[in-house]
Chain A
């Protein structure tokens, strides 16, 4: 069913039924596989971006540096002490927030989008594309995976809010994630050993399934009024997204996945919490080494993390920290994140690119969440590290406007990573301070 006739008529249909669907050049993707020489490493190492979402907020009065000490001469809070060795390579930014955020249990849903949940009257949920997906459209062009989403299980209880991962696609719909290290390992590094023809056949079959459901969608389309057809458009768009993904898969069908320089073993099924995050970080380093993708998001576990640190309460209980045990758990969690991030940075620094720079030099990493603490949505905790976006690190920045759009940071990271973007979400401009000493 993959003959060009049926696919072109489908595009024609999509064009007429839903003007909002952007149609990239499918024919240029389809049926053409990449020659291995195309993959030869370029002289300039690629830019990469990583977003790490913590879900419930931090222990606010201990996590942020003193606002009176800005610039280089600030003391890294004790709770973040594992990062001391990297202090000159990271930046903590205060007073960033999303003006529309109002959902006190959603640390991730709008974190990378800045969208207004109630944008559409009469509809109780709305989201827009996330910054990683915008970056992936450019950075992901030449890699097997346009982007990789990692997302721990049971996120609803972890203060992440609705969504399948941190990522939201162009139509504001959730993008699914790999929920365990072992699943991520296989996606990134395991090769399908069945013959090429068989794999091609499977792809064609998947396409014909889409053609079939579209036949029904078309007939439904005729029966509906305008409002309902707008609803049905979501279905058409979703099918369209699967097609785009299949086209990319086809392009890479004949190319084997690479094994990283430091081979990584299949992770155990039972990793949870601290060790799970550590393994996900290792997998990201390995994926960067083989250039499997250049954009990562990770919606990290919270309940599993605190439980692996010995806590016996739920993450939600922890997030309502008062003096006593809840606060201790909250602080331990903050320190564990600092410890894990420090290790991640160590490994990225140790891994060299062809030009002698390190993975760390070419990568930008943001650790944060939309919730600052308890159910507050101002001053979103934000720690940026890595040389990829050209940020002058080693500083503590306190934005003078307490409502500086977090999207200004996302815009800065996009531009800093060489992606042409004039705005992102509700951004009002780049944060120039990031790039100036």
Chain B
């Protein structure tokens, strides 16, 4: 529940975004200030001062002397934080003292928690200072790839999203000794791949006939089962001989094998004529077991682009989710989902499906093709339910005749990294001079055009010479100095020199870097660099044209993903599993595609210059065939995400109706009106609730009771310390209660009582009415969505603040008020069209100055 938001910094509390700034009288009327209203002095007098006055100071707490100006300084704010926690946790007033009346307590806690949030923002304000930034993990990977043409494996580097709000926040991007060693090792590995001569494999086509494997294993398994059943039967038909005489460990095992539950499925499988020449896609016995196509392993030196061709057909009665081929790589829990293709052809006329693959040098990959799956035992459990219903199990969805792996396809695009790094040696140059120049040019390029220090270059050359002296060849000896360059501060940090005090403007190349890392998470390309070097980029009109160009480039997808993922806190989507039995259609592929839907939606709006409010409510969704299938939307064919119109009364259209947002507001089992309500307040209404206080006592009265989510929510209103925030949060979340944990519609909430197998359930009618913090009441989900859609100014304000943080790489502070007003004004004129926000930020002074 307590979730770290993006812009928080001071110690004493968990987090959260903003609240209105109290502009109470102060020496400097323009200066934001967080103060506790004086009226609460009465609460202190009535309940606290007996022990905590200036005379007694019990526990060294003197509430008579405390300043009500919370944001005065950090010690004052920390004192108030302790007061907040002591009252929240029920520690104060002590049990033998007079309890604070509910109304006093609610009012006191409400004011204090809101003021604490403001105080924290004031005290953590950097005053606009942007700290020098290290390349974060995403940027580092893109940077190395741009330089070497090889995408590095960065899994050993720290995930910078775990320790910072946005992973662009300079002050929170750290470095450690282990990391420096990782940078050296990673650079070395990738330079070897880029520079050492590698044999390119000839392109070839390998066809796999999957039935060769499965007809054998399935018929063997069937024979074994038949034999076991026979032996078990004979054993139970007699009384004298022990189980071991029949090949069983004991009575128990014999009993287990008396019935072969998978046999009917396997018999049916083998009896299908089409399985003589292909496989039908089914779940097999082993956990995670499926009939699948196993393509030849791609080795470490088999890099390149490939095409997988599959000849397949779908069974006429196949369920929607079983009509997709799923392409994966790897094994077990490390398995990666590569993509999906829907099979539409009938068995009479199978189709050929093509799926592109890219294989990176230095990696090994085992590619598989199979039907869609759930995590863990989900598919097996579902097969069991089907078996109970139909006597054999889940019928197959598709038939696969064969699959071909074609590649590596001939490369045509662009200059190889080796060619510019190891440029042709000019006539008359000595090898040493040549090596020196290779090192220098590489360093200049790696350092964003900055000329490296002479001492540094000397030492790099000494590294080269030392390797040569050990007998290494020219290129081999270069690997060491070049990898050192990629572990040096000028490469790892976005160095922006101070310049002189009077002119803090960024230089052209610095501005180019800031812009390209903002929109591409990668270094500037040649065009941008050329404009930067000629000085043109600092002209506003040129900067604008370039911003448009970068936004239109496919690399802008990294901005969409990097920003949106963190802005909307989408990491929550991976936090919980969804059980196959409870949510049969919410499988791994839906989770992945639900995430893509959010990115696709934002990207589409960026491309089509649509107003931001359409994220709140729209008459379209951005889906592919798979998500359309999940939502039950007809006539969407093809795996690409595209805009699809939906009718006015559709559940979908706007973030609130997306599977991703709804699933994030659950724990994988039940929906959570609290999570959902808080998410809406934080991200859509820009009215984040104060952080959940840690360690508030549980409502023990409710232990063991089976309650609806709404009843649980209403219990929050009982205690003042819960009520003050939950009366704002929960009524928003109630409006989404018609969606279950996986975003599917329901009219009743069904709760299983006790152990799952007990099958005892309790049902609750959904009551979706609620209200927004501004008092606007709504009857149901549609009313909620409508009400939220009227808050486009608030939504735009929250979006602006997040964009400032991400783009400038520092927390949003009160000193940014003017900047955000400027951006809002610029965007409002164009109906809050997304790219306008980006343009306004890029054109602003803070973006263009140090």
Contact = CB atoms under 8 A, between A and B. Distances in A.
Nearest to A225: B498
Interface of B: prevailing SS: loop
Interface stretch (A34-42, A312-320, A360-368): A312-320
Interface in B558-614: 575-577
Interface string A217-236: 11110011101100110110
Given A118-B11, A124-B9, A219-B452, A212 B177 contact: no
A295 interface: no
B224 to A, nearest CB: 24
B409 to A, nearest CB: 34
Contact of A124 (B12, B172, B376): B172
Interface string A199-221: 00000010011011101111110
Contacts of B669: 322
Interface stretch (A170-178, A251-259, A384-392): A170-178
Interface stretch (B125-133, B195-203, B273-281): B125-133
Contacts of A116: 11
Contacts of A227: 129, 131-132
A220 B452 CA distance: 9
Interface stretch (B99-107, B350-358, B453-461, B768-776): B453-461
B694 interface: yes
Between A122, A125, A316, A323, the greatest number of chain B beta carbons within 10 A of the residue's beta carbon is seen for A122
Interface string B128-162: 01011010000000000000000000000011001
Given A232-B132, A238-B179, A223 B8 contact: no
Given A124-B164, A216-B452, A312-B376, A324 B755 contact: yes
Contacts of A375: 1-2
A325 B576 contact: no
A125 B163 contact: yes
B183 to A, nearest CB: 10
A241 B178 CA distance: 9
A173 B174 CA distance: 8
Nearest to B695: A378
A122 B376 contact: no
B460 A212 contact: yes
B132 A224 contact: yes
B577 to A, nearest CB: 5
A22 interface: no
Contact of B4 (A103, A208, A242, A320): A103
A435 to B, nearest CB: 26
Nearest to A116: B11
Interface in A104-151: 104, 116-125
A174 B10 contact: no
Contacts of A245: 177
A243 to B, nearest CB: 9
B449 to A, nearest CB: 14
B490 interface: yes
Given A238-B176, A242-B177, A323-B754, A215 B169 contact: no
A56 interface: no
Contacts of B811: 122, 124
B178 A175 contact: yes
Contact of B124 (A121, A215, A223, A235): A121
Given A312-B377, A316-B575, A317-B576, A174 B8 contact: no
A320 B462 CA distance: 57
A183 interface: no
Contact of A239 (B74, B162, B177, B466): B177
Contacts of B11: 100, 116-119
Contacts of A121: 9-10, 74, 123-126
Given A102-B14, A124-B164, A173-B174, A156 B159 contact: yes
B248 interface: no
Nearest to A245: B177
A209 B467 CA distance: 12
A114 to B, nearest CB: 12
Nearest to B704: A323
A289 to B, nearest CB: 28
B477 to A, nearest CB: 13
Contacts of A296: none
Interface residues of B, number: 82
A118 B9 contact: yes
A123 B180 contact: no
Contact of B695 (A235, A303, A314, A376): A376
A111 to B, nearest CB: 16
A377 B694 contact: yes
B473 interface: no
A60 B481 CA distance: 54
Interface string A156-179: 100001101000010001111000
Nearest to B494: A228
B215 interface: no
B209 interface: no
A150 to B, nearest CB: 15
Contacts of B459: 208, 211-212, 215
B172 A234 contact: no
B497 interface: yes
B576 A324 contact: no
A161 to B, nearest CB: 7
Between B9, B134, B287, B752, the greatest number of chain A beta carbons within 10 A of the residue's beta carbon is seen for B9
B304 to A, nearest CB: 29
B158 A162 contact: yes
Contacts of A118: 8-12, 124
Contacts of A175: 176, 178
B493 to A, nearest CB: 7
Given A124-B9, A375-B2, A231 B754 contact: no
Nearest to A240: B177
A119 B176 CA distance: 19
Interface string B743-767: 0000000001011100000000000
A375 B698 CA distance: 13
Interface in A325-339: 325
Contacts of A161: 162
B489 A217 contact: yes
Interface string B477-518: 000110010011110110111100000000000000000000
- Give 4 nearest A-B pairs by CB, closest first: A219-B453, A173-B176, A228-B132, A125-B163
7 contacts: A121-B74, A124-B165, A212-B484, A213-B489, A216-B456, A220-B489, A325-B756
Given A116-B11, A242-B180, 15 more contacts: A103-B4, A121-B10, A121-B74, A121-B123, A124-B4, A125-B172, A156-B159, A209-B480, A212-B459, A215-B455, A216-B490, A231-B134, A238-B177, A242-B181, A312-B375
Interface of A: 1, 100-104, 116-125, 156, 161-162, 164, 169, 173-176, 205, 208-209, 211-213, 215-220, 223-225, 227-228, 231-232, 234-235, 238-239, 241-242, 245, 303, 307, 312-314, 316-317, 320, 322-325, 375-378, 402
Interface of B: 1-2, 4, 8-15, 74, 91, 123-126, 129, 131-132, 134, 158-159, 162-165, 169-172, 174-181, 184, 287, 333, 375-377, 452-453, 455-456, 459-460, 462-463, 466, 480-481, 484, 487-490, 492-493, 495-498, 575-577, 667-669, 691, 694-695, 752, 754-756, 810-811
